[in-house]
C-alpha cells in the first residue's frame, strides 16, 4: 500500500511531545489491560461455583451453576478480545507505517468525526493502534475503536471494533452491506438485520449479499456495485461488514486486520489495496457529480425496522427466561 505520504491525523492537544506520548502509552496500556483482568477474574468465578456445588454443598444450586455459566461466557469473550486486539497485531500496524509512508498513533481520543454505526452508537470513544496512509489517491485509516454501550453503564472491557475507513471523492447515499460480523456472539449470529427490508437493493451477489440503501440512492448503488465490485465485496464480506455514509466507506469487524497469522495479515493488506484501487477507478463519481449539478434525488439515511426489532427482542428474552428457569428447576431436582 504505497503511493503518497499519509495524513497527519489528529494531533494531540498537548504540545509537549514527551507528555503526549506518555499519555498515549498509559491509555493504550489501560485498554490492553482490561480484557486480561476480566479474563482472570471471570475464569476464577467460573471455577469457584462449580467447586462449591460439587464438593461443598450437599444439594446442587441452580443459581450458582447459572453464575458459573455466565462467568464462563464473560471469560470466553475476554479471551477473544485478547486475541483479536493483541499487542502483536498493533505492532504489525506500527511496523507497516514507515513502509507505506504512513503515520501511526498508539492512541487517539474521540471518533475523528466518523459516523459509521459503531462510532455513532458508542460513548466514551477511544481509538488505538491507528495507521493513516494514502493508497491510490485515497486516504485510509486503519484502527480500532473502544467505547461504552451507554453513557450511564460501564463495562470493564467496553465494546471493541476494528475498522478501516476510506475517504471518498464525493458524498454517497447511506448504504450498509451486512454480512453479519457485528451481529455475532462467540461466532454465532444472534440477531437479524435491523434495517427495513423495503430498502434492500438487489445488485447480485447471492443471498448473503444484503445491501440496504437509503431512499433515493438506488441508482447510485447500482452504478457503484458493478459485477466486478460485487465480486470484490464478496471477498471483503468474509471479514467485514460495510457501511457507506457521506464521504466515507467503512469496513467493520470484531477482529483486527493485523491479528492472526502472517498470511492473513498479508491478505488483509492486499484487500485494502484492492478496495482503494476500485474506489479510485470507479465511474460512479461522474454520476454523483452530474446529479449534484442537476440537483438530483435527495438521499435519506437508512431506516431501522423498529417493530420487527422489538418483536425479536421480546421473543429472545422470553426464550432465555424459559431456558434459565428449566435449568434452575432441573438443578434443584424439581423436574426429576
State whether 156 and 198 are in the same domain.
yes
State whether 31 and 114 are in the same domain.
no
List the domain range (segments joined by +) for residue 264.
87-293
State whether 92 and 57 are in the same domain.
no
State whether 183 and 329 are in the same domain.
no
Q: How confident is the model at residue 149 (pLDDT cuts 50, 70, 90)?
A: confident
State whether 161 and 136 are in the same domain.
yes
State whether 100 and 228 are in the same domain.
yes
Long-range contact pairs involving 323-332 (C-beta distance under 8 Å, separation at least 24): 324/66, 327/62, 327/65, 327/66, 328/62, 328/63, 328/66, 329/62, 330/62, 331/60, 331/61, 331/62, 331/65, 332/59, 332/60, 332/61, 332/62
The predicted pLDDT at position 306 comes to: 47
State whether 74 and 93 are in the same domain.
no
State whether 44 and 94 are in the same domain.
no
Of 1-5, 116-120, 256-260, which range is least confident? 1-5
Rounded to two decimals, what is the model's pTM? Answer: 0.81
Q: How confident is the model at residue 19 (pLDDT cuts 50, 70, 90)?
A: confident
Q: Among 84, 116, 132, which residue terminates a domain?
A: 84
Residue 299: inside a domain, yes or no?
no
Judged by DSSP in three states, 211 sits in strand
State whether 158 and 76 are in the same domain.
no
Q: Residue 13 — φ and ψ, nearest 5°?
A: -70, -30
Residue 1: inside a domain, yes or no?
no
The predicted pLDDT at position 225 comes to: 96
State whether 73 and 145 are in the same domain.
no
State whether 76 and 100 are in the same domain.
no
Please check the confidence at residue 227 and state whether its pLDDT lies above 90: yes
- Tell me which residue of 239, 264, 207, 231 sits closest to 88, measured CA to CA: 264
In the chain, the number of structural domains is 3
State whether 201 and 118 are in the same domain.
yes
Amino acid at each position: 500500500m504505497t503511493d503518497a505520504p499519509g495524513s497527519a491525523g489528529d494531533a494531540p492537544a498537548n504540545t509537549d511531545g514527551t507528555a503526549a506520548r506518555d499519555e498515549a502509552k498509559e491509555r493504550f496500556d489501560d485498554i490492553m489491560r482490561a480484557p486480561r483482568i476480566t479474563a482472570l477474574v471471570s475464569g476464577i468465578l467460573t471455577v469457584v461455583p462449580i467447586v462449591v456445588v460439587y464438593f461443598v454443598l450437599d444439594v446442587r444450586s441452580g443459581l450458582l451453576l447459572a453464575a458459573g455459566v455466565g462467568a464462563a461466557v464473560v471469560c470466553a469473550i475476554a479471551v477473544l478480545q485478547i486475541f483479536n486486539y493483541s499487542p502483536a497485531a498493533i505492532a504489525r500496524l506500527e511496523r507497516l507505517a514507515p513502509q507505506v509512508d504512513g503515520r501511526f498513533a498508539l492512541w487517539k481520543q474521540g471518533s475523528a468525526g466518523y459516523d459509521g454505526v459503531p462510532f455513532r452508537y458508542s460513548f466514551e470513544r477511544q481509538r488505538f493502534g491507528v495507521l493513516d496512509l494514502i493508497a491510490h489517491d485515497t486516504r485510509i485509516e486503519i484502527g480500532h475503536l473502544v467505547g461504552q454501550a451507554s453513557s450511564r453503564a460501564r463495562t470493564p472491557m467496553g465494546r471493541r471494533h476494528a475498522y478501516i475507513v476510506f475517504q471518498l471523492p464525493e458524498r454517497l447515499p447511506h448504504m450498509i452491506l451486512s454480512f453479519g460480523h457485528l451481529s455475532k456472539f462467540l461466532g454465532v449470529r444472534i440477531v437479524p438485520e435491523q434495517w427495513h427490508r423495503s430498502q434492500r437493493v438487489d445488485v447480485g451477489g447471492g443471498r448473503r449479499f444484503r445491501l440496504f440503501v437509503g431512499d433515493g440512492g438506488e441508482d447510485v448503488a447500482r452504478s457503484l456495485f458493478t459485477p466486478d465490485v460485487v465480486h470484490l465485496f464478496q471477498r471483503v464480506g468474509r471479514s467485514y461488514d460495510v457501511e457507506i455514509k457521506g464521504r466515507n466507506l467503512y469496513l467493520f469487524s470484531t477482529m483486527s486486520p493485523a491479528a492472526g497469522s502472517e498470511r492473513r495479515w498479508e491478505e488483509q493488506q492486499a484487500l485494502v489495496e484492492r478496495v482503494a484501487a476500485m474506489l479510485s477507478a470507479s465511474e460512479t463519481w461522474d454520476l454523483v457529480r452530474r446529479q449534484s449539478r442537476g440537483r438530483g434525488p435527495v438521499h435519506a439515511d437508512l431506516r431501522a425496522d423498529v417493530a420487527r426489532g422489538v418483536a425479536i427482542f421480546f421473543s429472545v428474552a422470553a426464550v432465555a427466561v424459559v431456558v434459565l428457569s428449566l435449568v434452575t428447576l432441573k438443578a434443584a431436582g424439581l423436574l426429576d
